[in-house]
Amino acid sequence: MKLKSVVASMLALGLASTATLAASSDTINRAEFDAMKDQVAKMEAALNQHHAGLNAPISNTNDWFNRVTVSGQFDVDTYMSAKNSYRFQNNGGNTSAIELPNANLFVDAQVNNWVKAHAAIHFDNNVKRDGLANVQEALYEHVNASWLDEAYVTIANFAQSPAYVRAGREYVPFGSYDAHAITPSLTQMLTQTQATALQAGVVMANGFNASAYTFNGTDLDKNQQKNRRINNFGLNAGYANSYNNVSYTASVGYLYNMADVNYVAAGREYNTVDHVVGGISVDGSVKSGAYDASVHYVTALRSFDVTDVTHFTNDEQAGAKPSAWGVEAGYSFAVAGYDSRIGLGYQRSSQANNVGPHVYNEHGTVSYGMPKQRYVAQYDINVWKNTDLGFQVYHDRNYDDKTTGNSNTTGLVRLSVKLA
């Protein structure tokens, strides 16, 4: 296809400025073309914010070798928890371990100009970091405990249309988070939702994006009838743009039933719930030069039934209405020619002391729950190409109730290697 015809199709979508649209010359320079290609790439990035892996190049030949991309990511953590009195673990002693929280293999195929296929294989060694309640297992393995983390098909061609359709196993667009963070944030624990879903949406060249999705959710407990059906859905809308070297994003999401959030589902004893509890997430970020900041918030819109998710208060049990929020600020700079970033953050939850997996010990059935407060400091440095080191210290302060300890401090070092 000639360069001029490719550019014309992009212009029809508004991928160039009004001034360019008004131009009547028969030639388009290379800089303008590259800028428009970059805009298409940003549109695809907005669609795939929760999904790792690389996009394969478009090819009109039958050579599958040129249309399939294999990539991956491997993370190795070394950590130590000090003065651990969190949830009766280890009698308040120190703990340490070397663990493999993530080993991921991504396969992406550009089937044709409209159809892409993506698959992700995920492995972890059942991380049991004290104070986090097997959070990796709860976030990534509760759905069929499958090694096939993602497998979906996307029908989209942003050079022709801003609309897309996606079907398959994925993490639905509820909340905004780093899927491979060293330590999952409190808002990630209340938003990350894996499902076999049908999703449709638009990603506009002006930075606006929106989507709707539906999937098989948890059954309502009506006369103990458990009919498998499509009964959960969500909506998401966002905006991303830049002005004078300042880039910014904002998004809001709605989930019809938070009982299907991975971490919430991992702590429920039954596969049914007594009533639906909707949820709202709000996320925003800004970056100006070397500085960046972000804010995240998620809340249930009503209380869960006391038999589904319990909130302990003053030795009494009630249905919980969990929520969480967090703020983070960072500064990027070079150290001896290596890119690095330092970040500080604060997170807080409410009525989440009984959310998540349970443990059975001499105290009876104890829910790990989520911490009430978290302070985080992190430093990341790119030591070689596709090879990063991350250093993190976080301090959790727990809820004051009869089933918990007081606090937990953990330090971690992560070696992360990406295969591209």
57-74 b/e (C-beta count within 10 Å ≥ 16 → b): eeeeeeeeeebebebbbb
Report the run of H or E that residue 11 belongs to, with start and end.
Answer: helix 3-12
| pLDDT for res 163 | 96
Count Cβ atoms below 10 Å from residue 337 Cβ, excluding itself: 5
Evaluate whether 113 touches 119 at the Cβ level (below 8 Å): no
Predicted pLDDT at 39? 60
Torsion angle (degrees, nearest 10) of CA 395, 143, 171, 123: 70
The answer to whether 323 and 301 are in contact (CB under 8 A) is no
- Decide: 409 and 82 in contact? Cβ < 8 Å: yes
* Contact (Cβ atoms closer than 8 angstroms) between residue 100 and residue 417: no
pLDDT at 201: 96
Q: Which amino acid is at 32?
A: E
Say which residues have a Cβ less than 8 Å from residue 268's Cβ, sequence separation at least 6: 218, 259, 308, 309
Distance CA 367, CA 268 (A): 10
Interatomic CA distance for residues 146 and 395, integer angstroms: 32
Amino acid at 49: Q
Element housing 135 (H / E) = helix 135-140
Strands 219-220 and 272-273: parallel
User: Which pLDDT score is estimated for 20?
Assistant: 36
Amino acid at 45: A
User: From CA 216, how far away is CA 195, in angstroms rounded?
Assistant: 8
Give the residue carrying structure tokens 């939850």: 349
- Strand residues in 44-186 grouped as ranges (E): 68-82, 95-110, 115-123, 148-156, 163-171
Q: How many residues does the chain have?
A: 420
Q: What is the pLDDT of residues 382-402, one digit of tens each?
A: 999 999 999 999 998 888 764
169: left (phi over 0), alpha (psi -120 to 50) or beta: beta
pLDDT value of position 140? 59
Give the N- to C-terminal CA distance of the chain in Å, as an integer: 28
Q: Which residue has the tokens 């996320």?
A: 283
Cα 52 versus chain centre, distance: 10
3-state SS string over 172-214? CCCCCCCCCCCCCCHHHHCCCCEEEEEEEEEECCCCEEEEEEE
The overall longest dimension of the chain from CA atoms, in Å, is: 80
Alpha carbons 388 and 381: distance in angstroms, whole number = 6
Residues in contact with 309: Cβ distance below 8 Å, sequence separation at least 6, in sequence order: 264, 267, 268, 319, 320, 322, 354, 355
What pLDDT does residue 392 have? 96
Strand ranges inside 205-245, DSSP E? 208-216, 219-220, 230-243
Q: Is the dihedral of CA 371, 375, 379, 380 positive or negative?
A: positive
Predicted confidence (pLDDT) per residue in 147-200, tens digit: 788 999 999 999 999 999 999 999 999 999 998 899 999 999 999 999 999 999
Q: Which residues of the chain have pLDDT under 50?
A: 1-28, 33, 54-61, 85-91, 131, 133, 142-145, 224, 402
Question: Which domains are delineated in the chain?
Answer: 1-47 (no CATH), 54-419 (2.40.160.10)
Q: What's the distance, CA 5 to chain centroid?
A: 37
pLDDT at site 16? 36
DSSP-assigned letters across all residues of 136-158:
HHHHHSTTTT-SEEEEEEEEE-T
- The pLDDT value recorded for residue 390 is 96
Rounded CA-CA distance 109/77 in Å is 31
Q: How far is CA 236 from CA 46, 258, 282, in A?
A: 12, 15, 10
Cα–Cα distance for residue pair 264/298, rounded to 1 Å: 13
